Amino acid sequence: MPPRPQLLHEPRTVEVPRIRHAPILGTRIVAWPDETACATFAKGLASRPALRDAYLELHGGLGAGKTTFVRHLLRALGVTGRIKSPTYAVVEPYEVDGLAISHFDFYRFDDAREWEDAGLRELFAAPGLKLAEWPQQAAAMLPLPDLRLLIEVDDGEGRRVELQACTPRGLELLR
């Protein structure tokens, strides 16, 4: 074996971006042939006790159905008022039957300071249900989700949804 080349420099520590190893503990594929199927799925999820402190990431292109799913989920949980898309506000908070719910949309998120200024850190640290659209836009700030929904448009109204559980709580929600 040839001798190891001499190190030209002292080894040094370099800053590397934080790599998030996101273990996927389980997956399930569901089909939403139309929006009614999306609503039925949301209703089923809303009945699960494990949802109360869960963090769900919603993935899918523009118009995939992320906000629509959240609306059906919030209605099923008992939210009665208007459910706005939080695209401009980043977060819309709700409170129903003692359950705090935060609906995030990070589509326009590009400033880490906003994370502190808008109190997003506190919202994520607090108990309750968290739902995030476009989480990849704030990936460095966000914790590992319990469950990811990857929504793909089949054609027309059809949606294929891959569920990925990343925590035991997420696995519980997969069942």
Ligand X SMILES: Nc1ncnc2c1ncn2[C@@H]1O[C@H](COP(=O)(O)OP(=O)(O)OP(=O)(O)O)[C@@H](O)[C@H]1O
Phi first, then psi, for residue 12 (nearest 5°) are -135, 160
83-102: which residues touch ligand X (CB under 6 A)? 85
Judge whether 32 and 161 are in contact, CB under 8 Å. Answer: yes
**Closest distance of CB 90 from Mg ion, Å:** 12
Alpha-carbon torsion (102, 119, 64, 162), positive or negative: negative
**Closest distance of CB 112 from ligand X, Å:** 22
Q: Which range touches ligand X (CB under 6 A), out of 10-18, 30-38, 114-122, 135-143?
A: 30-38
Closer of 37 and 76 to ligand X (Cβ): 37
Q: Is 156 left (phi over 0), alpha (psi -120 to 50) or beta?
A: left
Judge whether 36 and 159 are in contact, CB under 8 Å. Answer: no
Residue 152 contacts ligand X per CB under 6 A? no
Sites of contact with ligand X (CB under 6 A): 32, 34-35, 37-38, 60, 62-68, 85, 133, 157, 159
Sites of contact with Mg ion (CB under 5 A): 66-67, 85, 133
